[in-house]
Amino acid sequence: MRPEQQQKQQKPGIDVAVLVSIGRHPTTGRARRAEQDARGLELALAMEAELPGSRIDVLHAGSQDVDSEAALRSYLGMATGVGMGLESMTLLEQPEGSDAILPLVEHLAATSPQLVITGARAERGEGSGLLPYALAEHLGWPLVNSLASIETVENGVITLLQALPRGQRRRLKVRLPAIISVDEAAPAARQSAFGPARRATFLVAPTTSEADSELAQWHLSPARKRPKRLKIIKAASARDRFKAAASKAEGKGGQVLTDVTPEQGAEAIYKLLKEEGVLR
């Protein structure tokens, strides 16, 4: 019964590799599952309904220590009530400060999944968001960024919705194998449960790793607050410059319209909406 079922299900399912990294909480800096990577895993998990029998390989390249282990386990804590081989994750172990691209390319080339899902940017280190592109370039696979949802997977072609700014969507058809990167537009990740996370195991795969020598030469420091851009007045005369500098800042305390007809009120609002360009 069971093997048969599995065989039946194996047909439509595809192999998905989800790349995960160790995140960093924006206010406390604690290790956690990275927001975007978790959304990527969520997308993969949601495919279970669409494509039963899909297998997910969760991949992480990096070192393993107490802090990072808890963060990595929290990805597997999302695997509640789904099979998809989420009892374990593949750990491409490499020392701190190594370049993750090489081992990932090697591993993906060897296991050749049909779909690779990754977060757009890491929350630690350089966080340049170049990794998905590097993988795509090395593997020669097409890449789609800012994925919102996966619609269908048929005959090696995946139809998906790409997120555009302000909630807009674009439909794309991509030939597999492909790489998909996920940012904040993808559906939020499900809750990570303690039980499955605790039971999860790590399959450690040895890798060739190369120290990221370039990064080591750069100067890293906590982000400074960017200076707010000043309103620079380039006026023809000194008098104009003086006037601009001395004029009262705008917007302090809003405009309040009392005792106006609904039409007048509506007109004022309409003007503001037009100015802000939110009326299409």
Q: How many residues does this entry show for the chain?
A: 280
Tell me the CA distances in angstroms from 162 to 48, 69, 173, 184, one per residue in order: 20, 32, 10, 12
Closer residue to other proteins (CB): 172 or 205 = 172
Tell me the CA distances in angstroms from 259 to 58, 252, 267, 272, one per residue in order: 63, 22, 14, 19
Q: Which stretch binds other proteins (CB under 8 A): 8-16, 51-59, 107-115, 164-172?
A: 164-172
- What are all long-range contacts of 261-270, with beta carbons under 8 Å and residues at least 24 apart? none
4 binds other proteins (CB under 8 A): no
The answer to whether the beta carbons of residues 38 and 117 sit under 8 Å apart is no
Q: Which stretch binds other proteins (CB under 8 A): 11-19, 56-64, 201-209, 261-269?
A: 261-269
Near other proteins by CB under 8 A: residue from 166, 206, 213, 231: 166
Near other proteins by CB under 8 A: residue from 1, 234, 246, 249: 234
112 binds other proteins (CB under 8 A): no
145 binds other proteins (CB under 8 A): yes
- Residue (of 1, 16, 199, 212) closest to 103 by Cα position: 212
Q: Which stretch binds other proteins (CB under 8 A): 7-15, 55-63, 103-111, 115-123?
A: 115-123
Tell me the CA distances in angstroms from 173 to 156, 158, 255, one per residue in order: 10, 6, 49
The answer to whether the beta carbons of residues 117 and 44 sit under 8 Å apart is yes
Closer residue to other proteins (CB): 211 or 257 = 257
Residues 6+ apart with CB under 8 A from 124: 21, 22, 23, 24
In three-state secondary structure terms, 276 is helix
Binding mask 169-208 for other proteins (x = CB under 8 A): xxxxxxx--x----x-x----xxxxxxx-xx---------
Near other proteins by CB under 8 A: residue from 162, 179, 180, 200: 162
216 binds other proteins (CB under 8 A): no
The burial class, CB within 10 Å (0-12 / 13-18 / 19+), for 143 is: middle
Give the separation between CA 134 and CA 99, rounded to whole angstroms.
Answer: 11
105 binds other proteins (CB under 8 A): no
Shortest distance (Å) from residue 80 CB to other proteins: 5
Give me the phi and psi of 180, to 5 degrees please: -125, 130
239 binds other proteins (CB under 8 A): yes
Near other proteins by CB under 8 A: residue from 92, 144, 179, 180: 144
Binding mask 49-78 for other proteins (x = CB under 8 A): ----------------------------xx
Of 74-103, binders to other proteins (CB under 8 A) are 77-78, 80-81
Of 12-31, binders to other proteins (CB under 8 A) are 24-30
